[in-house]
Structure 1
Amino acid sequence: MPIPRRHLRLDDEPMNSALALLRRDLEVPSGFEPNVSRAAQTATDRFATSRTDATDLPLVAIDPPGARDLDQAFALVRSNAGWVLHYAIADVAAFIVPGDVIDLESRRRGSTLYLPDHKAPLHPRELSEGAASLLPGAARPAVWWKLTFDVEGGLVNTEVRRATVRVRVATSYEVITTILADHDGATNHEATNHEATNHEAASAEGVGVSAQSIDLQDPGSDALGPAAKRGIDLVEVATSLRDFGSLRLSIQADRGGVSLQLPEQDVQVDASGNVQLLATPSLPAEEWNAQMSLATGMAAAALMLTSKTGLLRTLPSAEPEILAELRRASEALGHRWPPDDDAAAGGPNHVYGQWVRSLDPSTPVGAALMLSATKGLRGSGYAAFHGEPPELTTHAAVAAPYAHVTAPLRRLGDRYATEMALAAYEHRPVPAWVLDQLDDLPQILNDANRRAASVDRAVIDLLEAAELASQIGAEFSAVVLSHGRDGLRVQVTDPPVIADAIGEANDGDTVRVRLSDADPMKRLTRFKVVPQPAD
């Protein structure tokens, strides 16, 4: 019989105390000083007079439900010649005067931090969820990337400029997934027609979308109706995203790129303050959406390398010793490693990517090997240069030069990288305020990434312990993911917990574990493997 899940609430005193301790321990900012908030309230677009009017673009944003800090919106146009991606990115730099209090505070923070009871944004909410956010319906300053691809998905032309845009619809990955499931499940002729322009036509096609759009669309309505009223055919948006994203994923695989589908844990907080820890497998729509950001980041990197000034996101290829270790682990668990002739054709990293794509994280062996596969993607960082490019210019997971430019509301470096890409495209000098900070940025960004990762892990550890605190001595089914100095790392399915365990077992084994410790204040959960009687 499954053990009942504990009901967690943000307003419970134990949860409040544990979260307060976490914020103190990890020095999570609680808010902004009054002078920073005032500066954000009065900030205006510094480039208002030099923007291209692109408000006619049929832009759509895809974000988690309820999100208001919208960095990106897109319009995909397909033709016999290939694809055109219009990608609008929030122009945060337009509202920040170099050296002002907002700028200084954002450099101190480095990135947005997320907790169940609040987030510590990189910029004041007046900007990140207001004037600088690509909220639907309002004209907003943006950096407009126009990327042209041939029929095989290869990039053939890059344009980038400052523009004014108006996002028409903001929706979620779940809505896109539901639209495609309904559309692909339809069998009549009308259901395969992608040319619906209003809700009545969409209903006639049999696309009965039950998922709700995010809070910026008409409440109580399905996704298609509000979108159609704004001139957006979400069926066409969803199918174009799938087709383009799938094409680019195939190209990434051919390059030798790697995408890990790790066992994920997510935190869900409803409007009443109830908190739940969930296992959240990545939706295909998220991967397709990521391909637009990756394509833009690769285009930005190419511009910066040509101009010899830039900020690249880098990752070295896996060391031969690591690949040999992963191969031994894979073969020991009965999972085939790609043959050696594949390595000769595409190189060791190409084989590593093939192997990762062959893993099924929903199986015990696949989950264990997927966690081990992270060893091949260690050493990520940033390379800043003004003159000759650095020795390492590529990102092994992307299998190409790459730069962060698509999330400036949440990541500090994107603001600087975007300015360098714009300068390169316009054949003009990089602004002095960018060059003044360029050498310091890699350290600032690496520190911010480590801090964000620590906060994310601490939140999960806290919620795991809080959910299990009343069940000391209970037994659970688990999968052994790995071995470490402190024992085993196991994954419990229900509730979705990944924690340490003491005992004897092999990677990939399904075992019974007994909960021995669960302390939310210490953010600690520990199990013991229950010995099984011999057959």
Structure 2
Amino acid sequence: MPIRRVWAPHIDFAALRRELRLPEAFPPEALGEAEAAATGPVPPVADRTDVPFVTIDPASSKDLDQAMHLSRRPGGGYRVLYAIADVASYVTPGGALEAETWVRGQTIYLPDGRIPLHPPVLSEDAVSLFPDVDRAAVVWTIELDADGATTSVALERARVRSRAKLSYEEVQRQVDAGTPPEPLALLPELGTLLAARATDRGAVNLPLPEQEVEEHRGGWRLVLRAPLAIEEHNAQISLLTGMAAADLMLRGGVGLLRTMPAPKPDAVAKLQAAAKSLGVLWPAGAPVGTVVATVDPAGPRGAAFLDQAADLLRGAAYTSFDGTPPEQTGHGGVGAPYAHVTAPLRRLADRYATEVCLALAAGAPIPEWARAALPRLPKAMSETDRLAGAANRGAIDLAEAVLLHDRVGELFEAGVLDLDEPSKNRPPGGTVAIDEPAVRARCLGALPLGVRIQARLIEADPTTRKVQFELA
């Protein structure tokens, strides 16, 4: 009788770390700088400790970049106060720690632990926006009218004090019960309003469940985790801030944008053809984002359609400029110019982009250390994005192969998500998804898109991290 394994007591992710040459311990000089900065006082800046900020993150998070407070404006509209960890005040330009963060580029997450951008003494302690302690932050104040349109933006360095470390799950429960925490009480209302504005401007938001490797019974299992509604609302505040940052940079003629080409007409036409074959309603003249928002990812046809829609969101890049704005300024997924400024503990580019925004907002000269870094950041971030993607995909591929390697020859019910482009060099096939364990892998055969099929597992090799099915 075959072993129906849905979790594994042990998976060696260390081999993946070695293969990708992921950084290990911080160099002594960089760690020494971080420890010295961590023991220093909070920089003497404006006092905003009277604002009852709260953070909202995954329950296990320790690197808390953002804290939020939402309120109504007198006379109508909204006020968003968004505190972002002031990492730049703790990293000396030209020092060993700054050099090491350029080597790392971003925090890389693996199931058995993270490879942090900054030493934990900073990222999980002195700079992280934990509750009930004073922290240095860059506070964005964004005023919105009753329709959700931005009317003014201000930012400053300030000392803040969060009141609570909240998780997405607990906030969602409180919202569902009608008792949301006061600083976030407006988040569902404002998030829904901002999402509607995003759809109107042509943004494309794909609510695809994330395939994750999680701890289970002392071992590991694969799950598909759909985002909670409160996570989507929270993401709108980050997007709002990123668009405000991009606007500052474009008006100031200098900065670092996160860009992506708009969906190409032929790709949209291909998706419309897929919608027709999958039974997804696409009203005449409706933009992609509007159609995507109506699709349920839980069903096989909806999942296949959204997987096809992901092909529209290709070509994301960082684009720096100093003087003439670049030809490509927009982000096809956001539907507007956009910049990364809200995760400096976890992403290198945000530290420099934030410094540019602070100077532009104050009408002050941009610090040379920040300005000089802009031309180098696109390449550095491209390389670290590639590495983070390889680590994430490698961990999932390894878990899939370990969980299935004793089940070669078995039949599985699977949904067909994607079809390969026709090629003379390989047999027809596509991508399928099985439910338990939550595996997505290649399947050989003439597959019907968006349909449940019987697929036979023909390969599951942990050494090569390869899993493959065939149409039964």
Give the conservation status (yes or no) of the 8 Å contact 1:50–1:162.
no
Residue among 37, 53, 60 paired with 1:59: 53
Give the conservation status (yes or no) of the 8 Å contact 2:207–2:227.
yes
Per-residue deviation, residues 7-45 of structure 1 (Å, max 9, x unmatched): 323xx3xx22xx222112212112212222122111159
Residue 461 (str. 1) matches residue 405 (str. 2):
no
Give the deviation of 1:426 after TM superposition: 0.5
Q: What is the alpha-carbon distance in structure 2 between the residues aligned to residue 101 and residue 353 of structure 1?
A: 45
Q: What is the alpha-carbon distance in structure 1 between the residues aligned to residue 206 and residue 241 of structure 2?
A: 20
- Three-state SS of the structure 1 residue aligned to 2:67 is strand
Assess, with a 3 A threshold, how the Cα gap between structure 1 residues 49 and 122 changes in structure 2: closer, same or farther. Answer: closer
Q: What is the alpha-carbon distance in structure 1 between the residues aligned to residue 250 and residue 204 of structure 2?
A: 23
2:439 paired residue number = 497
Residue 519 (str. 1) matches residue 448 (str. 2):
no
Q: What is the alpha-carbon distance in structure 2 between the residues aligned to residue 49 and residue 277 of structure 1?
A: 44
Residue 316 (str. 1) matches residue 261 (str. 2):
yes
1:95 paired residue number = 90
Q: What is the alpha-carbon distance in structure 2 between the residues aligned to residue 391 and residue 397 of structure 1?
A: 17
TM-score, normalising length from structure 2? Answer: 0.94
1:259 paired residue number = 205
Q: What is the alpha-carbon distance in structure 2 between the residues aligned to residue 338 and residue 73 of structure 1?
A: 40
Residue 164 (str. 1) matches residue 147 (str. 2):
no
Residue among 237, 258, 278 paired with 1:292: 237
Residue 24 (str. 1) matches residue 52 (str. 2):
no
What letter matches 1:445 in structure 2? M
Worse-matched range after superposition: 516-525 or 106-115? 516-525
Give the deviation of 1:176 after TM superposition: 1.1
What letter matches 1:127 in structure 2? L
Residue 150 (str. 1) matches residue 95 (str. 2):
no
Q: What is the alpha-carbon distance in structure 2 between the residues aligned to residue 333 and residue 81 of structure 1?
A: 43
Matches within 5 A, 1:195-274: 234-269=180-215, 273-274=218-219
Give the conservation status (yes or no) of the 8 Å contact 2:105–2:347.
yes
Q: What is the alpha-carbon distance in structure 2 between the residues aligned to residue 518 and residue 114 of structure 1?
A: 24
Per-residue deviation, residues 245-265 of structure 1 (Å, max 9, x unmatched): 111111111111110122421
Give the deviation of 1:238 after TM superposition: 4.7
Q: What is the alpha-carbon distance in structure 2 between the residues aligned to residue 521 and residue 77 of structure 1?
A: 54
1:441 paired residue number = 377
Q: What is the alpha-carbon distance in structure 2 between the residues aligned to residue 39 and residue 262 of structure 1?
A: 41
1:507 paired residue number = 449
Where relative contact order (Cα < 8 A, 6+ residues apart) is larger, the structure is: 2
What letter matches 2:353 in structure 1? A
Assess, with a 3 A threshold, how the Cα gap between structure 1 residues 47 and 404 changes in structure 2: closer, same or farther. Answer: farther
Give the conservation status (yes or no) of the 8 Å contact 2:274–2:305.
yes
- Three-state SS of the structure 2 residue aligned to 1:123 is coil
Per-residue deviation, residues 279-305 of structure 1 (Å, max 9, x unmatched): 101111110000110111111111111
Give the conservation status (yes or no) of the 8 Å contact 2:4–2:407.
no
What letter matches 1:492 in structure 2? I
What letter matches 1:267 in structure 2? V
Give the conservation status (yes or no) of the 8 Å contact 1:180–1:238.
no
1:8 paired residue number = 8
Q: What is the alpha-carbon distance in structure 1 between the residues aligned to residue 295 and residue 254 of structure 2?
A: 39
Q: What is the alpha-carbon distance in structure 2 between the residues aligned to residue 252 and residue 437 of structure 1?
A: 31
1:229 paired residue number = none
Q: What is the alpha-carbon distance in structure 1 between the residues aligned to residue 416 and residue 368 of structure 2?
A: 52
Assess, with a 3 A threshold, how the Cα gap between structure 1 residues 245 and 465 changes in structure 2: closer, same or farther. Answer: same
Q: What is the alpha-carbon distance in structure 2 between the residues aligned to residue 290 and residue 263 of structure 1?
A: 15
Give the conservation status (yes or no) of the 8 Å contact 1:26–1:455.
yes
Give the conservation status (yes or no) of the 8 Å contact 1:113–1:120.
yes
Q: What is the alpha-carbon distance in structure 2 between the residues aligned to residue 126 and residue 304 of structure 1?
A: 32
Q: What is the alpha-carbon distance in structure 2 between the residues aligned to residue 328 and residue 451 of structure 1?
A: 34
TM-score, normalising length from structure 1? Answer: 0.84
Assess, with a 3 A threshold, how the Cα gap between structure 1 residues 493 and 110 changes in structure 2: closer, same or farther. Answer: same
What letter matches 1:74 in structure 2? M
1:204 paired residue number = none
Worse-matched range after superposition: 420-429 or 484-493? 484-493
1:201 paired residue number = none
Per-residue deviation, residues 431-458 of structure 1 (Å, max 9, x unmatched): 1001222111111111111111111111
Residue 83 (str. 1) matches residue 78 (str. 2):
yes
1:225 paired residue number = none
Gapped runs of 5+ residues in structure 2? none
2:290 paired residue number = 354
Question: Pairwise CA RMSD of aligned residues?
Answer: 1.9
Matches within 5 A, 1:378-417: 378-417=314-353
Q: What is the alpha-carbon distance in structure 2 between the residues aligned to residue 160 and residue 283 of structure 1?
A: 29
Residue 476 (str. 1) matches residue 423 (str. 2):
no
Assess, with a 3 A threshold, how the Cα gap between structure 1 residues 67 and 263 changes in structure 2: closer, same or farther. Answer: closer
Give the conservation status (yes or no) of the 8 Å contact 2:459–2:469.
yes
